[in-house]
Every structure is written in structure tokens, then in C-alpha cells.
Amino acid sequence: MISFKLNGKTVQGEEGQYILSVAEKYGVEIPTLCHHKALEPAGMCRLCTVELFDGRRSRFVTSCNYPIWEGMEVKTDSEPVIKGRKLIAELLLARCPDAPVIQKLAAKYGIKEPRFKKEGDDCILCGLCTRMCQRMGNSVISLTGRGVEMKVDTPFHLQSDICMACGACASVCPTGHITLEKIRKEISKHTAKLIPSEYDMGLKGRKPVYVPYAQAVPNTPAIDRSVCIHFKTGGCKVCTEFCGVNAIDHSMQDEIVELNVGAIILSPGFTPFDPSKFDNYNYAKHPNVVTAMEFERILSASGPTMGHLARMSDHKEPKKIAWFQCVGSRDINKCDNFYCSSVCCMYAIKESVIAKEHSGADLDCAVFFMDMRTYGKDFERYYENAKKQGVRFIRSRVHTVNPVPGTDDLEIRFADENGAIKTEIFDMIVLSVGFETNPETVALAKSLGIELTEGNFCKTSSAMPVATSREGIFVCGAFQGPKDIPQSVVDASAAAAAAGEILAPARNTLTKAKEVIPEVNVTNERPRIGVFVCRCGINIAGVVNVPAVRDYAATLPFVEYVSDNMYSCSQDTQENMSQIIKANNLNRIIVAACTPKTHEPLFQETLLNAGLNKYLFEMVNIRNHNSWVHKNNPEIATQKAKDLVRMAVQKVALKEPLKETELNVHQAALVIGGGISGMTAALSLAKQGFETHLVEREAGLGGQAKHLYKTWKGEAIQELLAGIAADVRNQKNIHVHADTTLKSLEGFVGNFKSMLASGSGETLIEHGVAVIATGASEHRPAEYRYGEDSRIVTSLELDRMFINNDPALKNLKTAIFIQCVGSREPERPYCSRVCCTHSVENALEFKRRNPDMSVYILYRDIRTYGEREMIYKEARKAGVIFIRYSIDRKPQVMLKDGRLAVRVIDHVLGRPLEIETDILTLASAIVPYRDEQLAQFFKVPMNDDGFFVERHAKLGPSEFATDGVFLCGLAHYPKSIDESVAQGKAAASRAITLLARKKIFTSGEVASVNPMVCSSCGVCVSLCPYSAPSFIAADARFFAGKAQINPALCKGCGLCVASCRSGAIGLKGFDNDQIFAMIEAV
């Protein structure tokens, strides 16, 4: 290393480095207009001139291309240097008076007007463009002419065939002399084009080196070989100059890796339908006709308009937007996609609601649909709320979109529900496109020997919905069939469980015991704080002056070591940090980097590897809180980063080591509910080696499946059920407790104790996890004259007739089904999800038995989502007649003189029809059991409808917020047999993540009670959502009746701390002293 003095301070640099690069490293600003890290320095602008002392005399040199040497002295801000820069800035302002960068530079040195004649040019002849073009491997432009005639030009001032219009020259031009427009008109014969961003659906561009999207996994850049200059000319490689860790290798080749595995899970996803195939919608011809995915990006804060709702033609806010449903779905005329894509109705409603939030209630949103398929949990409520917010829902399928001449608007003609032809003009039209299986996925399936469905999705069975036709290969997500996020997450966990069942014998055979570094006792030691500031490439350092923050941290109390790193999260930096902690005897650590949500556990692991308690750590988020929110104001960002580091120093100095309680996990499970979902969960747990107690309140297993005839795929449910029940009885790890209920429960995750009560007595079992699969039941209708005539039956009663092959079925000539009986009404404002499919399947069963039979289905919306649409199509082809009715004009059932008839308003004719029938089937709602006692036992919530509430609607659909308790089947929400089986496996999969550990650790950052101050008021006990606080028993020797905290249940939310009237509760890691110290430091 070479040492020299920079502005009187000793600094170091490597041999061959120039003064400018060393100054940048130490946070010393030297202005320059002609310097670029990727190019050889030229010293042409002379702005970077500094004063050099060699011990005898001083002279001026350009810092960008003058190499450092031992013992030299450099001044960057001496009076002669400033005077020289001021003159250069004045001369540049005279040459380029209208260039913003020059105006800003001149203003910095107090120059408003030059003393010299203004030339009106905009090129400062810095040479950046010519050097960059040379680096690109082309050398299309160069500096031509001499003296005052010198300029940047092409040979003979002709447009070049060699120029690729890459725009590299324009990207480095400081004054804007070279632009993409100028390249197109004067330099290149080629047209510069944006590289369309796949993430932003082509609505904006990206670079050849890019991160696919903000939260990509892995979150690392990729190089697009098809547009990268290096792969076209052999030149460029500018990116290598900016990568501080030498991670870029342009010679890297594809590598074939062979893996020996016991199971494969396929989750290749889907491809959105391309509506450019439909000429009548003018998509790809008119910028204001967009797909739903494109509209999602427009709404997104990270999208092309930064979340501002604007149409793409003129970037004006739209006043009227229309959504067209079923584009590329439920269509066998133009695209052969017979199936429903399952998600489009809900995302259209969501987009319309969010669009109103962005633009205001005055925005006119209209959704044109055939059937509104809001069949998921709380979806119907969302639909109804959208109506209340003014979203218009128009039942019509629009054929054509016509541009309005002379405007950017769009005109449509459509027939409303009454058959009237109407015309409307919209500012934007959103096409709700559906799913398609990618051709590459079809080829993959063929190579693996996997069967596909008619819709090119993976063929599965209801008994094993995540198993392909080839043993050992499983499937999840949209490749299994069109579905939304919650069902995709369920399928993913189910596929993991299915794979785990066959891999269970190999569990722990490849695991290694981790070497634990003994923890250093730092109690009573003076704080020795280490501060590590992360550059995060340019993510942080591009805005925040990282060296300034680092140097400021060194001045703070108790700080013994500071450094800045290119990437603090990289493995080599982690190892280096661990060594630094040991070498400097540091006992408190601060990392100023990105978000603790993702990186805190990583740095805590680093502390453990250095022998420090992991809670002697504080993380400062100078990315989200500084460089991102203050990207246009580096000074404010830097000052705020210093403030946050100062606050963190004050807090971490007061931190003490915290202990995590180690808990043994009782490796057994309790499954409550012996229906098909509960039995599936129990089987999966047992097959993976865990003792399982299956509790069923009835005498036999099976639940509601005992009453069902066939699945929508045509499989006999009773055969399927008998097979699962037999497997349960033959599984040695399952203990079936029939005709049994849960009497009491105590304990917490890993250590539950449940008292079971049956006719034979009480049984105490211990278990580490619990799965709630208590099911639901069929609503007993109080309308449509149910109970007055044996010919009026519910769907389950009709299934029982099919199961028993009831002789009465032979004489039936007419059958009517009425949908939404007890569902989608104020008392039960949810859709029961399975009823439409169930009725269509039963209607087909009637037709199979008697093709001449007249079958009618009276419905509000047919919700045969996914590939279930196939049986809807089949039913129509078989002659089943579908008649729509509205909630305010329900069908009327008439019983007179032995006749059973139904009167309904025909939605096509607009006239009443009276149909005499031999049997009337009511598609009755599915209602939950509302087991309040069970909910209280496990401290799990129920929604207004009585279904249990999962941890997260999308990301945790099979688990509760209460640790160690999981959920599946109808207790969660109405679902079909295959979906119940999938969620049963999913619940087991999530439960095994705990059971397989053997030991779990509670967080050290939990609440604690000072019993000397506690007033026994009970506020904490009543408020805690996790039931962590409780009263010490009245007969306890010490502190009877005082509050105590169970660390195994505490989540560290602080609710009890904030609500304690006596100030008796504290949250470890967030003591009052620490918080007050941070506040005082601001």
C-alpha cells in the first residue's frame, strides 16, 4: 500500500491507483466531467485539477490520470485550485450556457454569467462518448477537426451501418449533446429500441444487465446475452468495472448437473393468454387496451407510472375504465381454452376497487362478465363491497372494441341483460386474460411421461390431487389446474407432504450437527461497539455518503471499530466480520444496511459464530429509510443515516444478553375431525413416522364425504372414502378415538396436553401439534317448501339416493335444481363453492341414466371454476337447461293436487315459466359447526360466518397464528374432495416442520413481569391475542395472583407492555431505558 497526504490527512491506496479514485474512497469530492470508471482517464475537462507538493515545489495535475506515489502531498481545495476550477467553469458556461450540468457547476462556484462571449454549443469535447464507443467495440464516432473546429462526428458525417444504436454514448454524455434522437437522425442507420421489461409486461424498458424484479429469488442481476453488447461485438464489459466483488464472468457456460433424488415436484406455473390473437379487441394496436397483468403494473408503485393511474397513450388519468372478463378462457371459438381460469373475476374486482382508490370515487369502473365467480373465502363480500363503492357489473360479453377517431378513447357496443343494444366510450379497456400452460411445460411433461388433461394441465386424481400419473413425481400450482394464490400455497405444502411420505425413511441421513461456538460472557463489560456500514453496491452508496457515515460512527461513544463493506450480507464479508469481532473484542454490533425483516437473522448468525449473544445486535435500515425515500436528496439521506446510527449506538450500548428457552417437542400429533381432510392429515403425519391421535365425535369416520356420490371428475367417492378409512385403520402410528370429544386442553406449541372424553371414560394424551379438521354440515333449508314433500330434497339427500340406487330414480322424467339455497344472502353472505359443480355433476348423472330426461338448473351465477367448466359444457351439450334468476325474483315452488312445480322468470324471454317436476333438488349452503369451545381451547379465531380464520389468507391458509395449531377441510371454508385432501396434506406438512425439529427455542425478545409492581388488574391477560400472560396460582408460595408471561406463547408484540397500568411489564430488547436513549439521541 502507498501512503500519502490528502488535504493534510494520511491516506492509503494501491500502486497504480489515481488520485481521484483514492479521494473518492475517502469521501473527498473532486469535480469532473470527463471521467468514467469504465474508461481510461483522459484529463480533458481539467476540472479535477489538484495541487501536488513533492517536497520542493507545487504544481497542478489532473487527478483523474495522475498515479499516486509514496509521500506525496495533495490539496484538493486550496485557493489556487478553487480559482482554477472557477475559471474552467466560467469558460465551460460560455461554451455551453444552456446545459443544466454546466449551469449547476457554475452556480456552485458563484458564477451567474460568464465574462466571455457565449457560443451556444452543448458539447464540451470531454471525449466520453468517443471513448465509450471505442469500448463498445465499434469506434463509430470520434473527435474530428482541430482547434475551434473540433467536434464529435462520424466519418464523412454519414450515418453508420456499424452503429448499433446501443445508446452507450448518450448514456455518458454529461451535457445531453448526444441523445437517442440524434443517434437515430445523424449517427446510426438503425433505430434505438427499448428492451422490453418482462416484469413490467413491456410497458417500460430495462437494461441488458438487470434484476428480474425487486424481490427476485435469488436477488442477483442477470445478463441478457441476446442484447448484451459484449456478446455482439466482443467489446464493452463495462459492468465488470463496477462490480466490486468480481462476480461477473462473461465466459460462463451452461452447466449440466445430475442429481440423485427420491422425489420430484413440478411447479412450472402458467403463461398469461396473449390477446393479440383477437383482432376485434385492438390489443397491441391501441395503447389504451391493456391486459390485466399490464394494468397491475400500472397500479404498482414500482411500475412504469410509479403507481399513478394513467393511460399509456397520453399519460392522462382515465375517467372511465372497462374490464372484459373471460378473455382467453371459456372460449372454444377463438382459442380452444374451454376452461375457466379461476382467478380473473376476483382480480378484475380488486383492480377496479384499487383503481378507485388511486383516482377517487368519481372514476367510472365497469366490469363486463358472463358469470361472476367469487367462490373463495370472503370473495363474495369483496364483490358486494365493490358494488357499494360504485363499480358497475354488466352481464354481457363484448365482441368488439373500436377506436374513436381523433381521440385516444375506445368505443364498445354490447347487449345488456334485457337485450337492449348500448354504446359506451371508455378511456381504457382492461382485458382479464386467463391461464395457459406454457409449450415448454407441455414438452417437459411429455419427456417425463406425465399425462395431461384436455386443457393441457397435469392430470391428477381426487384421492391424490398433487400426484402425477408417474410415481414419485408430484405437482403443485397452476400446472395442476388454474387456481389462485391460497390454493397454490395449499398445493405446494401438500406436494411437500406427499414427497415427504416417500422420503421419510431417509430423514436426517444427510444432516450434520452444527458446531456451536461457546458464548463469551460480556456481562459487566464496558460496551465495545463495532459499526459496519453497507454500500449495497450503489443501492445505498449511490445516494448515501457511506464513508461519511462510517467516519461519523467512529466519533460516537463506545464505538471501537468501524468499516464499510461493498455487500455486508455476502459470505466472505460475514466470515470477515466474525474475525473482526474476535480480534477487536467487540461485544455489541451494529450493521447499517437494508431491512432487518430479511437480513437480521443472517447477522445474528454471524454474532453466534463469533461467540457473541445474538441479541447484542442492532440493525439500522439505511436503505429503505434513507437511500430509497431520499434518493433525490443525498445530503438529507446521509444526515438521516448518521442520526439513525447514533440512535442505534445509544440503544445497543444498553443491551444485555438474552436467553432463549429450549423446549422439547413431543413428537405426536392430535387431529380433531375424522372427515376426509382430517384422515388425510393423520395419514400423512403417520406415514412420516409420527404418532397421531385422530379424534372423531361420531361413531364412524368419513364426515360429510359419507353422503357424497361422485367427484366432479366422475370418481366414486364411497370407494375413495373406504380406501382412506382402511388405510387409517391399518396405519400403526394412528390411534383412532371415535365417538370422542376434546374435554380440555393445556400447554403450548410442542407440549400440549389434551383430555379426551368418550363413553368409555377419559384419556390424557400429549402431543406437540394439533390439526383442526372439524368440518361443516349441510344447511337445512327453511324455504322452497322443503320438508313439505318428499320430492323436495337437498343435494346430499339426492346423493344418498344415487349411492343407494333408489328405485324412485327410475321413474323420474323431469328434475329441477335450485342453486344458492341459503348462500349469498344476508344471513350467509358467502358462496358455498361446490354447489354449482355438484348440481351440474348430478344433472349429468340424471342424463346418463335417462338421456331423454328433462333437467333444469336455476342459478344466479354458474361457478364451475377451473377445469370444472368441462362438465358445464358437457351438461349443456347433453341438453341440461340453465335458467338464471335474480335474488329479488327467486323461483317459487308450488304444491297442488299432488303436482310439484316451480315458477321462475326466464332471463332470455323475460316471462314467467312454470315447470312441473318429479324431483326438486335444493343446492343448500355449507354451514360451519361454530365450535366456540374448541376455538377457546386453542385460542384460534372464527370469522363472522363461523369458519376458522387462518394465519394469513394467502400465505398461511393451513395454519393459525397460534403456534403449533393447523387447519384443513370444511372447517376452514367450503371446498371439494380434492381440495380437502390437498389441504389435509398441507396441514400435515406444516405441522411436520415443527415435529421434525425435536427441540424448539422461544425468542429472547419476550415480555416479562415485575411481580413487585404488578397490581393483578388482569388487563394484560384479557388483551393478549396469544394468551401468553396468566395469573400465578392462588396457592403459589410466592406472588400468588400476580401476572406471569409464558415465553413459549409470547410473540413480543408489546401489547401487554403498552397496556400495563402499573408499568410492571417490560419487553426484553426494548426496555424503556433503551427507547428513551434513542429518543434523546435524535
Per-residue confidence (pLDDT) for residue 566, from 0 to 100: 86
* Average pLDDT score over the chain: 95
* Beta-strand relationship, 428-433 and 320-327: parallel
Residue 537 has pLDDT above 80, yes or no: no
| Model pLDDT, residue 571 | 82
Residues 298 and 376 grouped into a single domain: yes
What integer is the mean pLDDT of 894-910? 93
State whether 908 and 803 are in the same domain. yes
Mean pLDDT of 69-73: 95
- Residue 1015, domain CATH: 3.30.70.20
Q: Flag whether pLDDT at 829 surpasses 90.
A: yes
**DSSP 8-state code for residue 525:** P
Q: How many CB atoms lie under 10 A from the CB of residue 279?
A: 12
The residue among 959 and 336 whose pLDDT is bigger is 959
**What radius of gyration do the chain's Cα atoms show?**
36
Query: In the prediction, which pLDDT does 880 show?
Result: 98
Query: Is the predicted pLDDT of residue 1041 greater than 80, yes or no?
Result: yes
Tell whether 472 is covered by a domain. no
Residue 576 lies in a domain: yes
| DSSP assigned state of 234 | S
pLDDT of residue 544: 94
For 993, the enclosing helix (H) or strand (E) is helix 977-995
Per cent of the chain over pLDDT 70 is: 100
pLDDT of 744? 96
Give me 891's grid cell.
Answer: 323461483
Enter the DSSP assignment of 241.
H
Q: Looking at residues 242-246, what average pLDDT do you find? A: 84
Assess contact for 130 and 152: CB atoms under 8 A: yes
What is the domain-level CATH number for residue 719?
A: 3.50.50.60
Q: Are residues 604 and 679 in the same domain?
A: no
Phi, psi of 586, rounded to the nearest 5 degrees: -75, 145
Confidence of residue 572 (pLDDT cuts 50, 70, 90): confident
Handedness of CA 215, 216, 221, 222 (dihedral sign): negative
How much is the pLDDT for 214?
73
- Residue 72 pLDDT grade (very low, low, confident, very high; cuts 50, 70, 90): very high
- Condensed to tens digits (0 to 9), the pLDDT of residues 562-571 reads 999 888 888 8
**Closest C-alpha to 919, from 777, 801, 836:** 801
Average pLDDT over residues 1032-1054: 90
Q: Is residue 291 part of a domain?
A: yes
Residues 576 and 702 in one domain: no
Q: Are 755 and 858 within one domain? A: no
What is the DSSP annotation of 277-293? G-GGGTTTTSTTEEEHH
Contact between 270 and 328 (Cβ < 8 Å): no
Could you tell me if residue 855 is inside a domain?
Answer: yes
> Would 657 be classed as within a structural domain?
no
Instruction: Please report which confidence band the pLDDT of residue 469 belongs to, taking 50, 70 and 90 as the band edges.
Output: very high
Instruction: Give the pLDDT mean for 406-417.
Output: 96
pLDDT for residue 717: 98
Same domain? For 160 and 281 the reply is no
CATH code for the domain of 565 = 3.40.50
Residue range 402-408: average pLDDT?
96
* Together in a domain, 603 and 634: yes
Copy the grid coordinates of residue 327.
378473455
CA 752 to the chain's CA centroid: 33
Residue 1006 C-alpha cell reads as: 419476550
Kindly state whether residues 339 and 395 are assigned to the same domain: yes
Report the share of the chain in percent with pLDDT over 90: 88
> Which tens digit of pLDDT belongs to each residue from 255-291?
999 999 999 999 999 999 999 988 999 999 999 999 9
**pLDDT tens digits, one per residue of 843-898:** 999 999 999 999 999 999 999 999 999 999 999 999 999 999 999 999 999 999 99
Q: Which of 462, 488, 293, 438 is nearest to 868 (CA)?
A: 462
Q: What is the pLDDT of residues 74-124, one digit of tens each?
A: 999 999 999 999 999 999 999 999 999 999 999 999 999 999 999 989 999
Query: Looking at residues 181-209, what average pLDDT do you find?
Result: 91
Residue 826 within any structural domain of the chain: yes
Mean per-residue pLDDT, 163-169 = 92
pLDDT band at 909 (very low <50, low <70, confident <90, very high): confident
The grid coordinates listed for 419 are 337485450
Give the residue numbers spanning the domain of 15.
Answer: 2-77
Query: What pLDDT, in 10s, does the model give residues 351-373?
Result: 999 999 999 889 999 999 999 99
Q: What is the pLDDT of residue 313?
A: 95
Is 936 among the domain residues? no
pLDDT score of 213: 84
Question: pLDDT tens-digit profile of 748-761?
Answer: 999 999 999 999 99
Q: What angle do CA 949, 950, 955 make, to 5 degrees?
A: 145
Retrieve residue 750's grid coordinates. Answer: 410442542
Predicted pLDDT of residue 513: 81
pLDDT tens column, 304-340: 998 899 999 999 999 999 999 999 999 998 898 999 9
Give tens-digit pLDDT for 738-789: 999 999 999 999 999 999 999 999 999 999 999 999 999 999 999 999 999 9
- Nearest-5° Cα angle at 313, 312 to 319: 75
- Assess whether pLDDT exceeds 90 at residue 947: yes
Buried b (16+ CB within 10 A) or exposed e, 1044-1080: bbbbbbbbbeebbbeebeeebbbbbbebeebeebbee
Q: Is residue 988 over pLDDT 80?
A: yes
For residues 761 and 876, membership in a common domain is answered with no
**pLDDT-derived band at 551, boundaries 50, 70, 90:** very high
State the pLDDT at residue 220: 85
Strand partners, 742: 756
Q: Which residue, 394, 418, 436, sits at the end of a domain?
A: 436
Q: Which of 133, 137, 162 is nearest to 36 (CA)?
A: 133
310 and 424, same domain (yes or no): yes
Q: Are residues 423 and 305 in the same domain?
A: yes
- Asked if 761 and 793 sit in the same domain, the reply is no
Q: Tell which residue, 74, 79, 70, has the closest CA to residue 61.
A: 74
- What number is the average pLDDT over the span 431-460? 97
Quick count: other Cβ atoms within 10 Å of Cβ 431?
28
Residue 633 in this model has a pLDDT that exceeds 90: yes
Closest by Cα among 977, 834, 978 to 465: 978
Residue 81's pLDDT is: 96
Query: Is residue 659, in this structure, part of any structural domain at all?
Result: no
Among 138, 165, 193, identify where a domain stops: 193
The predicted structure's pLDDT at residue 1035: 85
pLDDT of residue 732: 97
How confident is residue 243, by pLDDT bands cut at 50, 70 and 90?
A: confident
Q: Which residue in the block uniquely carries the three cell numbers 463498445?
A: 136
Instruction: Specify the pLDDT at position 55.
Output: 81
**Which of 77, 92, 118 is a domain's end point?**
77
Burial of 120 by CB count in 10 Å (0-12 exposed, 13-18 middle, 19+ buried)? exposed
Number of domains the chain is built from: 7
